[in-house]
Amino acid sequence: MPYILKYCTQEDDRQLTNILAEVADRYDFDGSYNLILSTVDPMLPVLKELEKSDDFLTQACAKMTQGRAFRIRLTGKELEYIGVAVTGELIDIADYRGKVVLLSSETPWQSRNNVLDVYKKLFASLHDKGFVMINQVEGMGSIEADRQNAEDNEIAWIITSREGGYAKKLEDYRQKYGLQDTVFLLDREGKVLHSWSNGLCAAVLEKLQTLFPEQETVLSEIRTELIQNKEQSRMEIVQMFADNAQTFASELGVMLQSVDDALTPRGEPIFTDVLPPHISAQVKSELTDVLLSIPEINPSLWRQAFQLKMEALRNQCTQTLVNHPEMKPEEAFKEWIQTLEKLEQSPHAQAGTYHERVSLLLAMMPYIGQTDSNADYAKKIHKRWIEMNEKEIDRQKSLPPGKRHFSLVIHYNGMETRMLIDAMEEIDEDGSQGLVAALCDALVPILNDSGSNELKEIANNLQGVSRRSSSVGKEFEFECMLMNGEQFNVKSLRGKIVLVNFWATWCGPCLREFPNMKTQYEKYKEKGYEMIALSTDAEVKDIVEFQEKNDYPWLVGSLVKSKDAGLVDYHAHYGIQGIPTTFLLDRTGKVLFRMVGNDDEVLNEALRKAFGE
């Protein structure tokens, strides 16, 4: 493996090891060809070193790659898994000894092969016969969104949320087992009978038939339906190439060897695998142009070609900006923008192109700091973001209630809106230009008008972000329950300079800033200075243990105790997205300064100014 050993440690190839293992996993989804182990095992020395990296992506990819091999070796062994159900309780797979368990990391309502109905029929046929089914879903930004999706899709079996696992600080099984549309089947002793990395497949149903022979007929019917769903997707691509092979050859000079080129070795349709690696990005772009121009093209294939075209333009436009940093992003991305607007007129785009519009915006967003007028460009990004969300929400609202799906809007406004806010805060740190507040204030009514509870929840959070972003110069409202049981209101400290800090015992940057904060506290205490640190820890005992081990003199509050006492959740009120977050108040209670993250010198300078030094 000289190529792997030479390149996988380079910064630009942080994901290479995981990509190589993923390809092996795709072609050898049940491990029977030994591709996964033969790919991963030679890389283990390098992976062990990469796992020690301070870079999150490098570390995560190294763990994920090893997890894929670990999964293969689990056959015949007991499986450890503890998750958080979307209903809130902890799910320990060990509690289901004596039953056959199917554990899947496939999100059934998002599968490309329409397996939701198959999952439902499988559960209905076996749930009262000593069978348990668990789906761990990747999530749409919160356990509440996962719960709502489960309810909307009328899921009767156990759904666990990876987001919920994060919140409870549980093991990340996605990394540990290399989960990616993975299915485990466990016997009644809790041991792994087999695992598959291509989601619910015919082999799973065949295995279940041997475990539940009395249900052989119904399981056979379910297996047939599953095969038909996948076969339909495969045949759409096969038929398209059969109908148009000569066109491709004459237009592009690319000889497709046979219709079988439309398939991977294991029968899963992957459009991009048709194109040999040596064909350039330009030829790929030309091929998609031909596909997209065919009037009678199959809608499914049109969408695949559309995605490939967008990918080619994304790479091309991004490279243009790298080569010409003086260009304005809207100029570098002009072809992508125009092509997207043109293709949106196609009848095959009836499902909307919201995802690609978001991808376009996200590709442009990092270059905010590369233009002469950051604020003006940020406002253009803001305008595009508002327009695309309003358009997609209006499109969803025009559909019958049972056909509305806000999952993408929920996902992007839960994640990418946060990225956009972070980018704007970098060029408007004190909020004086009003960039973040303007974005949030424009987006909130659109999300609230959607009728989606998840989007209303996001809107509520954005109201807090707007409040925080525009807080400098305004009176700061804040109260909490202290660890000593007293109720505290910041108004009681009028006449003093006050620092309010949101932190947690598990937060490294928070703990690193405390020694300097103690030095400053002792320096200014006699000059009329006080500090209140509100812990966001989920467990009060963690705060107690921290206080017992550390001697910090300021007031300490608990968000959990404050909520239990019925007080306002000021963490949400100010839309705190990251900790530590700090506010410095003047003697009248107005915000002088706010900061996200830890920077001792910046804080010290703000204190010097506050005390007129």
Region at 313 (left for phi over 0; alpha for psi -120 to 50; beta for the rest): alpha
Greatest mean pLDDT among 169-173, 346-350, 422-426: 169-173
Question: What is the model's pLDDT at position 141?
Answer: 55
Question: What is the model's pLDDT at position 234?
Answer: 63
Helix or strand run (H / E) with residue 131: strand 131-137
- CA dist 391 and 388 (Å) reads 5
Q: Please give the distance of CA 351 from its chain centroid, rounded to a whole number.
A: 22
Residue 530 domain flag: yes
Residue 165 domain flag: yes
Q: Do 421 and 273 sit in the same domain of this protein?
A: yes
Residue 274 domain flag: yes
For the whole prediction, is pTM greater than 0.85? no
Question: What is the model's pLDDT at position 591?
Answer: 95
Q: Do 283 and 424 sit in the same domain of this protein?
A: yes
pLDDT in tens, 404-448: 777 777 777 767 777 777 777 777 777 778 888 888 888 889 888
Q: Do 516 and 375 sit in the same domain of this protein?
A: no
* Res 7 pLDDT > 50: no
Q: Do 545 and 404 sit in the same domain of this protein?
A: no
Higher pLDDT, 370 or 578: 578
Q: Do 366 and 433 sit in the same domain of this protein?
A: yes
Question: What is the model's pLDDT at position 605?
Answer: 94
Domain that residue 117 falls in: 82-211
- When pLDDT is averaged across residues 283-296 and rounded to a whole number, the result is 67
Residue type, 5: L
- The mean pLDDT of the chain is 81
Question: What is the model's pLDDT at position 88?
Answer: 85
- When pLDDT is averaged across residues 18-26 and rounded to a whole number, the result is 78
Residue 218 domain flag: no
Question: What is the model's pLDDT at position 431?
Answer: 76
pLDDT in tens, 455-502: 888 888 889 888 998 899 999 999 999 999 999 999 999 999 999 999
Under 8 Å CB-to-CB from 548, ≥6 apart: which residues?
none
Confidence category of residue 284, pLDDT binned at 50, 70, 90: low
Residue 551 domain flag: yes
Single out the residue in 436, 469, 502 at which a domain terminates. Answer: 469
DSSP 298: -
- When pLDDT is averaged across residues 212-222 and rounded to a whole number, the result is 93
Single out the residue in 181, 211, 241 at which a domain terminates. Answer: 211
Confidence category of residue 230, pLDDT binned at 50, 70, 90: confident
**CATH (domain of 566):** 3.40.30.10
* Res 261 pLDDT > 50: no
Confidence category of residue 402, pLDDT binned at 50, 70, 90: confident
Tokens of 457: 């929840």
Structural domains in the chain (count): 4
Q: Do 460 and 483 sit in the same domain of this protein?
A: no
Question: What is the model's pLDDT at position 499?
Answer: 97
Structural contact between residues 51 and 63, judged by C-beta atoms closer than 8 angstroms:
yes
10 Å Cβ neighbour count for 39? Answer: 22
Confidence category of residue 370, pLDDT binned at 50, 70, 90: low
Confidence category of residue 98, pLDDT binned at 50, 70, 90: very high
Residue 370 domain flag: yes
Structural contact between residues 335 and 313, judged by C-beta atoms closer than 8 angstroms:
yes
Q: Do 108 and 200 sit in the same domain of this protein?
A: yes
Residue 502 domain flag: yes
Question: What is the model's pLDDT at position 237?
Answer: 54
Under 8 Å CB-to-CB from 478, ≥6 apart: which residues?
489, 490, 500, 532, 570
Question: What is the model's pLDDT at position 144?
Answer: 77
Question: What is the model's pLDDT at position 549?
Answer: 92
- When pLDDT is averaged across residues 586-599 and rounded to a whole number, the result is 92
Q: Do 56 and 128 sit in the same domain of this protein?
A: no
* Closest C-alpha to 428, from 372, 375, 371: 375
pLDDT in tens, 77-95: 999 999 999 888 999 999 9
Confidence category of residue 4, pLDDT binned at 50, 70, 90: very low
pLDDT in tens, 502-513: 999 999 899 999
- CA dist 478 and 378 (Å) reads 31
- When pLDDT is averaged across residues 157-162 and rounded to a whole number, the result is 91
Question: What is the model's pLDDT at position 244?
Answer: 53
Tokens of 155: 């899921």
Q: Do 12 and 121 sit in the same domain of this protein?
A: no
- Which three-class secondary structure state does DSSP give residue 188? coil
Residue 217 domain flag: no
Question: What is the model's pLDDT at position 240?
Answer: 56
Q: Do 389 and 532 sit in the same domain of this protein?
A: no
Higher pLDDT, 368 or 360: 360
Higher pLDDT, 31 or 520: 520
Q: Sheet harboring 591-596: ordered strands across?
A: 487-489, 479-482, 555-558, 529-535, 497-503, 581-585, 591-596
Confidence category of residue 76, pLDDT binned at 50, 70, 90: very high
- Least confident stretch, 242-246, 417-421, 606-610: 242-246
Question: What is the model's pLDDT at position 238?
Answer: 54
- When pLDDT is averaged across residues 297-305 and rounded to a whole number, the result is 70
Q: Do 355 and 297 sit in the same domain of this protein?
A: yes
- Least confident stretch, 60-74, 102-116, 168-182, 556-570: 102-116
Under 8 Å CB-to-CB from 60, ≥6 apart: which residues?
175
Higher pLDDT, 309 or 103: 103
Q: Do 129 and 168 sit in the same domain of this protein?
A: yes
Structural contact between residues 303 and 271, judged by C-beta atoms closer than 8 angstroms:
no
* Phi, psi for 263 (deg, rounded to 5): -120, 150
- When pLDDT is averaged across residues 550-561 and rounded to a whole number, the result is 93
Single out the residue in 434, 469, 504 at which a domain terminates. Answer: 469
